[in-house]
Homo-oligomer: A and B are copies of this chain.
Amino acid sequence: MDPIRIAVVGLGKIARDQHLPAIAGNAAFSLAATVSPHDPGREGVAHFASLGDLLYGGPAIDAVALCTPPQVRYDLAALALKRGVHVFLEKPPGATLSEVVALRERADKVGVTLFAAWHSRFAAGVAPARAWLAERTIQKVSIVWREDVRVWHPGQAWIWEPGGLGVFDPGINALSILTHILPRPVFLEDAALSIPENRAAPIAAELRFRDTAGADIHMDLDWRQTGPQSWNITVETDAGTLKLSSGGAVLTLPGGTEHNEDLEYPGLYSRFANLIRGGRSDVDIDPLRLVADAFLRGRRESVEPFND
Contacts and interface: CB of A to CB of B under 8 A. Distances in A.
Interface of A: 74, 78, 95-99, 101-102, 105-106, 162-163, 185-188, 191, 200, 212, 286, 289-293, 295-300
Contacts of A106: 212
B187 A299 contact: no
Contacts of A97: 97, 289, 292-293, 296
A281 to B, nearest CB: 16
- Name the residue in A96, A186, A286 with the highest tally of chain B Cβ atoms < 10 Å from its Cβ: A96
Contacts of A163: 296-297
Given A162-B298, A289-B292, 4 more contacts: A95-B296, A96-B188, A96-B297, A97-B97
The A interface, classified by DSSP as helix, strand, loop or mixed, is helix
A98 B186 contact: yes
Contacts of A186: 98, 102
B297 A296 contact: no
Given A101-B289, A212-B106, A289-B101, A187 B296 contact: no
A227 to B, nearest CB: 31
Contact of A98 (B99, B188, B300): B188
A32 to B, nearest CB: 27
Nearest first, the 8 closest Cβ-Cβ pairs linking A and B are A98-B187, A96-B293, A292-B292, A99-B187, A102-B185, A295-B295, A163-B297, A295-B296
Contacts of A102: 185-187, 212
Contacts of A95: 296-297
A299 B95 CA distance: 13
